[in-house]
Structure 1
Amino acid sequence: MRDITADWAFARYEAIRPRAPAATFSASSRRAAHLGEVAEQVDAFILDAFGVLNRGETAIPGAIDRMRELRDQGKRLIVLTNAASYTKAEAVEKYARLGFDFSAKEVISSRDVAFALLPPLPDGTIWAAAAAPEDRFDDSPVPLRRVQDDPRLFDSAGGFVLLSSTGWADAENERLIKALRDDPRPLIVANPDLVAPREDGLTLEPGHFAEAIAEATGLAPRFFGKPHRNAFDAALARLRGIPRSRIAMVGDTLHTDVLGGAAAGLKTVLITDHGLFRGRDVGPYITRSGIVPDWIVPTT
Structure 2
Amino acid sequence: MSELSSHVTIREVALRDGLQIETPIPLSAKIELLHAIVATGVREVEATAFVSPTKVPALADAPELAAALADFDDGVQFSALVASPNGARRAIAAGLGTVEYVVSAADAHSRANVGRSTAEASAQIAEIVAIAHDSGVAVEVIIATAWDCPFDGPTAPQRVLDVVSAATEAGVDRVAVADTIGTATPRRVRSLLAQLRPVIGDLPLGAHFHNTRGAGLASAYAAVGAGVTRLDASVGGLGGCPFAPGASGNIATEDLVYLLRDSDIHTDVALPAAIEAAAVAQRLVGHELPSALLRAGDRILDD
TM-score bracket for this pair, using the shorter chain length: 0.3 to 0.5
Larger Rg: 1
Task: Specify which structure has the higher proportion of helix.
Answer: 2
By relative contact order (CA 8 Å, sep 6+), the higher-ranking structure is 1
- The TM-score with structure 2 as length reference comes to 0.38
TM superposition score normalised by structure 1: 0.39
